[in-house]
Amino acid sequence: MNNQALYLQIINLITKEFLQQKTFDTFYQATQQSIKNIYAQNNDEISMQSIRKAITEFYAQHGIKAVVFFQAHDMQIKPQITNQENNIYIDFITRQLDKDKFAEMMKNEPSSQISRYFNQLFASLKDSPTLKDSTTIKDIVRNAVKKTLGLNQRDSVFFNDLEPYIKNFDFDLVKNNTQIRELRKSSYIGTFLNPQVKQDIDSYISQPKLDTLISQTIQNIIDEKIYTNQIAPLDFYSGFSLALIQDISTQISSLTQSRFPINTINRYAIEMYLYYKTTIYKKLAQAILEGIQQNKASAESYITFFDGKDKKINGVLTHIPIITDITSKTWNLSNIKQTLTSEYSINTNLAQLKNSIESGRDKLLELETQITSNKALVSQKELEIQTLNQEYETKKQHQAQKNQDVESRNATSKLINEILQQKITILDAIATLNNAITNANEEKKQIILKEQQANEQIKNIINNNQSSIQTLQNLTDALGYCLESVVTELDNNA
């Protein structure tokens, strides 16, 4: 086969699969296998160049850099995203969202249904052999949602408990930000909400939900500003508190179903920020350290920023502290990386155990729902059995009457047999449901046992690595203090 014909054959094959397949993974597997078969018959150097050219050009047109490896009897394609806002992953997810009528779902379905939908979507992407980074997965889904809903790139899409909320870039938002800037000034401190209004808003937001909300909001801001837009540390720190308060305000407004004036919600969000300030900056420190641990280059400058020098910012001389922990140990990028590397296996094990516990608890809730549903079905079918028993007795009495002709007796006998057959079918269904309930209860026992074992493992890891864990805690606290100090000073000088 000549080179041009081979090139066109590969292009046509990939394009056909791209149009036919429903997910990137099935597309990737189908094309790779088909191209392997072609490569087996065309494995000279010139043919390999034609195959590589067709693959890399197709992927490049869809926001992906494809690296093609040839071996004696094998060929591998390694995709890497180059266009974060428009790539083949987004194309496939957008198709799925369109097929599932996502735009209508956002308007009409309850939050719980949308959360379940995104839970399944994220789970399917996490299982993808070509996607390992949760930040990348969020970016793919975020941009697919934007395309599906017709949003522009300046609009923001965040995920709160896997349910998306959308923050459009508009003049109302700018106006709201201006109001928050004014409310943050020290002259307003102590003049926020009266206790009754605060209590009314509190009733919508449990403590665990608020903690999760703050953690997710911090991660969303980092994903968008550090990893996606890669803004400079000074710009990030200067705008962090405003972005956090605005996003918390937006989510609280959603949680309270917009029952309070936006000015009231803004005041509540600022009170939450001030009350949880130290916790917030510890969470921010943890998120930045996780970025360093994951070798995200854009996170490194957020550590080297703390150099102990005085910097003139907006005409005001601002002191930038050095990261120094409670033991007077000074931290820099080098020894932070070294510590994170040595602590990686400990943290990974702890994280995996904690994730397994969370997954187990999610499964327990699912099993409880299943058991409750099956018990309700059993009760319903037992009522059906009672009804059939009554019908059976009625028919038997009718059959016992001596004045019936043969035809009537036969008809009654047929009805009795049908009732008995229905009872057998229903009893079989009840047995199946009871068996499912028994299996679910047994699975619950196993999950509870695994949780107990995981908690014991966590306890042992902590007991055996107290010094290492304390070192990492000292680092996190020290970085959190520096972050809080700098952001507060920048806010005061704004």
**pLDDT 10s digits, 152-198:** 555 556 555 444 544 443 444 445 555 566 665 544 445 556 778 88
Pairing of strands 323-324, 316-319: unpaired
pLDDT grade, residue 331 (50/70/90)?
Answer: very high
Helices 262-275, 277-293: crossing angle, 10 deg rounding: 70
The answer to the question of residue 407 being in a domain is yes
Structural domain for 40, as ranges: 3-81
Domain boundary among 161, 189, 210: 161
Contact 62, 87 (CB under 8 A): yes
> 117-126, 149-158, 458-467: lowest mean pLDDT where?
149-158
Which CATH number do you get for residue 426? Answer: 1.10.287
Pairing of strands 310-313, 316-319: antiparallel
Q: Which residue has the tokens 């937001």?
A: 205
pLDDT grade, residue 121 (50/70/90)?
Answer: confident
**Higher local confidence (pLDDT), 3 or 458:** 458
d(CA 147, CA 96): 12
d(CA 452, CA 360): 11
**Higher local confidence (pLDDT), 482 or 464:** 482
d(CA 376, CA 455): 34
The answer to the question of residue 229 being in a domain is no
| Average pLDDT for 462-481 | 88
The answer to the question of residue 189 being in a domain is no
d(CA 40, CA 439): 49
- Reply yes or no on whether the pLDDT at 491 is more than 60: yes
- Reply yes or no on whether the pLDDT at 24 is more than 60: yes
303 CB-near residues (< 8 Å, 6+ apart): 288, 292, 323, 332, 333, 336, 479
Q: What angle do CA 137, 138, 143 make, to 5 degrees?
A: 105
Domain boundary among 161, 192, 222: 161
| Average pLDDT for 350-364 | 84
Same structural domain for residues 46 and 94?
no
Position 399 scores a pLDDT of: 65
The answer to the question of residue 20 being in a domain is yes
Question: 10 Å Cβ neighbour count for 236?
Answer: 20
Tell how far CA 38 is from the center of its chain: 39
Same structural domain for residues 44 and 93?
no
Same structural domain for residues 458 and 396?
yes
- Reply yes or no on whether the pLDDT at 242 is more than 90: no
Question: 10 Å Cβ neighbour count for 68?
Answer: 19
The answer to the question of residue 208 being in a domain is no
> 65-74, 177-186, 268-277: lowest mean pLDDT where?
177-186
Question: 10 Å Cβ neighbour count for 461?
Answer: 18
Share the mean pLDDT of the chain: 81
Contact 133, 145 (CB under 8 A): no
240 HSE (CA, 13 A, CB side): 30
Same structural domain for residues 72 and 156?
no
Among 349, 333, 357, which residue's Cα sits nearest to residue 462? 349
Same structural domain for residues 27 and 65?
yes
| Average pLDDT for 45-54 | 88
Tokens at residue 281, please? 């900056």
Same structural domain for residues 373 and 447?
yes
- Reply yes or no on whether the pLDDT at 474 is more than 80: yes
Same structural domain for residues 42 and 104?
no
165 HSE (CA, 13 A, CB side): 18
The answer to the question of residue 23 being in a domain is yes
The answer to the question of residue 262 being in a domain is no
Same structural domain for residues 56 and 98?
no
Tokens at residue 132, please? 């390992």
Tens-digit pLDDT profile for residues 200-227: 888 887 766 777 788 888 888 888 777 7
Same structural domain for residues 54 and 113?
no
The helix or strand, by DSSP H or E, that contains position 188, with its residue range, turns out to be: none
- Reply yes or no on whether the pLDDT at 249 is more than 80: yes
- Residue 50 to residues 39, 61, 68, 135, 176, Cα–Cα distance (Å): 10, 17, 11, 34, 56
Position 437 scores a pLDDT of: 92
pLDDT grade, residue 304 (50/70/90)?
Answer: very high
> How many structural domains compose the chain?
3
What residue spans of 110-204 are helical by DSSP H? 111-126, 134-149, 171-184, 195-202
Domain boundary among 127, 161, 195: 161
> 161-170, 231-240, 260-269: lowest mean pLDDT where?
161-170
d(CA 445, CA 170): 52
Q: Classify 361 as helix, strand or coil.
A: helix
Position 86 scores a pLDDT of: 84
Position 162 scores a pLDDT of: 45
Same structural domain for residues 144 and 49?
no
Tokens at residue 335, please? 């020894």
First to last CA, the chain: 68
Contact 57, 75 (CB under 8 A): no
Contact 221, 240 (CB under 8 A): yes
The answer to the question of residue 108 being in a domain is yes
pTM: 0.48
Same structural domain for residues 57 and 152?
no
- Reply yes or no on whether the pLDDT at 470 is more than 60: yes
Position 186 scores a pLDDT of: 44
Same structural domain for residues 74 and 137?
no
Q: Classify 405 as helix, strand or coil.
A: coil
pLDDT grade, residue 105 (50/70/90)?
Answer: confident
d(CA 23, CA 161): 24
| Average pLDDT for 27-34 | 90
Sequence letter at residue 403:
N
Segment of 78-82, 99-103, 464-468 carrying the highest mean pLDDT: 78-82
Position 324 scores a pLDDT of: 93
Percent of the chain residues past pLDDT 70, beyond the cut: 87
